[in-house]
Structure 1
Amino acid sequence: MAFKDILVHMDSTVQAGSRLDLALALAKRYQAHLIALNVRDRTLVPTRLTAQFGAEMDAILARGDAEAASAAKAMVEARAEAAQTSVEWRDVAGDLMDTVALHARYCDLVVVGQTVPDNADGRALPDSLVVAVGRPMLVVPHAGQFPSIGRRVLVAWNASREATRAVHDALPFLREAELVHVIAVNPEHGMAGHGDIPGADICQHLSRHGVKAVCEHIRSDDIAAGAMLLNRVADEDCDMIVMGGYGRSRLREMVLGGATRHLLEHMTVPILMSH
């Protein structure tokens, strides 16, 4: 597998620039076509406002959408020329999550931003997208610059279907990494678990793909697992995490907490997720 087309979600946030820079770097690295997608989303505009102000409100919103799209397009065009890679601009209207998911299904990788804390519109795009798109999703933290990723990668391994999918989807990164650190979280033995030596089977599989992988296993209660993984990222000087997204229902994650939710809220490096 190779990344031949990459989609990056563009918006008017400060984070969009660093997200675009990373997407452009990946497109150049893998000789991929990059699609920069801007979505004019009106679904969260209170209906009472449009009902009260009618055409006047529509004109105000349309003007704001156009200004935001123009600024994002100018950013894409300026950076694309410097990056010297194939870039396509798309500006569409629709529900944010549904529209991004639709366009992402025809790409090998979708790049989105971490939800900004206290986000006024309440949209958590990564949470919904990871279970809807059927493609690997690279989430970029809202703070920091990430001009390049994949030198040292941490794989959060729990022998689940989601983790298996994520490792497969991340192979282009893993093959090029200096080191891949596979951490088996709360490993269980038996046919549905990790085998006799937790992490050994997946590391052996990765080695057949030319991946330089080492493994270890850790025990942690579920709520603390995400924090422990972030500590290991710092300890091992990793610049990327690979993990399966939402191995149990998102409702239960919201109520009880969990590694996926913790990492999406507190991430310090980009995370490649698959479901």
Structure 2
Amino acid sequence: MSYKTILVHLDTSVRAHPRLETALQLAKRFDAYLIGLYAVFEPNARAFNVMAGSAGYYEVQAAMRRERAGALERLFHAELTRAGVSGEWLAPGEPADRAVPHHARCADLVVAGQDDPGDPESYIGESFREHLIMSAGRPVLLMPYTGFFATVGQVPMIAWDGGREAARAVHDALPLLKAAGRASIVTVDTKADDAGPRIASADIAACIARHGVEVEMVSSVSDAQASAGDMLLSRASDLGADLVVMGGYGHTRLRELVLGGATRTFLESMTVPVLMSH
């Protein structure tokens, strides 16, 4: 198993170029085809038409978006040539909540970015990242909006709770784990009564080891004074991890997306790239 098709979500945010660099790095590493999917938040133009004096503002913003999109497309093709990577540019012109999960289903890995509250251009739609993880059916590599990451996946950490989502994430991350040749497993005590039978960390460690990955078992994360998500972030820092592999937990209740605690913490406060699968 390898990543032969990688899709990177691109927008007009400040972090779009660093995200592209990460995707190019991975495409080069795995000899993969890279799809640059351009999708941004598009407000309803009719809403501006009924607001006095705002139609002109919308037209100016739309023109600026088109200019930025053109520049980004040119940059994408130039970077493909520079890196010696094959790929294509897609700009489907439909809402990102539909376009990105739809095209992601034909990719082996999806690269997207964390929402940046300080950059309005990073807003793609309400709970866009959460819905992408839950609906794409593919592993999503989320890049933080702060920090510089020269490498991704050289020092991977697995957040393991024995559940279905965690198992899916581990197997989706195998190409990265095998390339690194090593991984640390941090177990998470969820104390969930309705979680069903859980797979012991030793069993998943043996499974990964058969793929030629050297596995280190790290002590469990369990602290009454801190959430599992915060403890995992702290442990990732202690280990010097440049990638966290974890299950993305959530479900829809009355049209509201309800996320697991650790999933929510990482989406809001990640300090390193995170590969999530649902």
Shorter-chain TM range is 0.7 to 0.9
Which amino acid counterpart does residue 227 of structure 1 have in structure 2? D
- The residue number in structure 1 matching 2:266 is 263
Tell me how far apart the structure 1 counterparts of residues 60 and 234 of structure 2 sit (CA, whole Å): 46
Counterpart secondary structure, 1:163: helix
* 1:155-213 deviation digits (Å, cap 9, x = unpaired): 01111111111001000011122431111100669994446xx4111101111111111
- The residue number in structure 1 matching 2:202 is 200
Tell me how far apart the structure 2 counterparts of residues 261 and 188 of structure 1 sit (CA, whole Å): 18
Range that drifts further, 202-211 or 16-25: 202-211
Which one of 134, 139, 145 corresponds to residue 136 of structure 1? 139
Distance 1:253 1:226, change over 3 A: farther
Distance 1:222 1:37, change over 3 A: farther
- The residue number in structure 2 matching 1:82 is 82
TM-score (norm 1): 0.88
How far residue 150 of structure 1 moved from its aligned partner, in angstroms, is 1.1
How far residue 224 of structure 1 moved from its aligned partner, in angstroms, is 1.1
- The residue number in structure 2 matching 1:114 is 114
How far residue 61 of structure 1 moved from its aligned partner, in angstroms, is 5.2
Tell me how far apart the structure 1 counterparts of residues 202 and 251 of structure 2 sit (CA, whole Å): 24
Q: Percent identity?
A: 39
- The residue number in structure 1 matching 2:168 is 165
Tell me how far apart the structure 2 counterparts of residues 31 and 48 of structure 1 sit (CA, whole Å): 45
Counterpart secondary structure, 1:150: coil
The runs of 5 or more residues in structure 1 that have no matched partner are none
**CA contact under 8 A between 1:104 and 1:133: conserved in structure 2?**
yes
RMSD: 2.7
- The residue number in structure 2 matching 1:273 is 276
Q: How many residues align?
A: 270
**CA contact under 8 A between 1:151 and 1:239: conserved in structure 2?**
yes
**CA contact under 8 A between 1:223 and 1:259: conserved in structure 2?**
no
* 1:12-60 deviation digits (Å, cap 9, x = unpaired): 1110111000000100110000000112542x34643134579867754
User: How do 1:10-49 residues align onto structure 2 when only pairs under 5 Å count?
Assistant: 10-42=10-42, 44-45=43-44, 47-49=46-48
* 1:118-172 deviation digits (Å, cap 9, x = unpaired): 5544644221100010000000011122232111111011111111110010000
TM-score (norm 2): 0.87
Counterpart secondary structure, 1:99: helix
- The residue number in structure 1 matching 2:98 is 98
Tell me how far apart the structure 1 counterparts of residues 237 and 180 of structure 2 sit (CA, whole Å): 17
* 1:81-111 deviation digits (Å, cap 9, x = unpaired): 2111112111221111111011111111110
**CA contact under 8 A between 2:14 and 2:119: conserved in structure 1?**
no
Tell me how far apart the structure 2 counterparts of residues 211 and 60 of structure 1 sit (CA, whole Å): 53
Tell me how far apart the structure 1 counterparts of residues 78 and 237 of structure 2 sit (CA, whole Å): 34
Range that drifts further, 115-124 or 27-36: 115-124
Tell me how far apart the structure 1 counterparts of residues 261 and 203 of structure 2 sit (CA, whole Å): 25
The runs of 5 or more residues in structure 2 that have no matched partner are none
Range that drifts further, 54-63 or 232-241: 54-63
Range that drifts further, 45-54 or 264-273: 45-54
Tell me how far apart the structure 2 counterparts of residues 47 and 64 of structure 1 sit (CA, whole Å): 19
Counterpart secondary structure, 1:234: helix
How far residue 221 of structure 1 moved from its aligned partner, in angstroms, is 4.7
**CA contact under 8 A between 1:186 and 1:219: conserved in structure 2?**
yes
**CA contact under 8 A between 1:38 and 1:90: conserved in structure 2?**
yes
Counterpart secondary structure, 2:276: strand
Distance 1:162 1:223, change over 3 A: farther
Tell me how far apart the structure 2 counterparts of residues 165 and 38 of structure 1 sit (CA, whole Å): 27
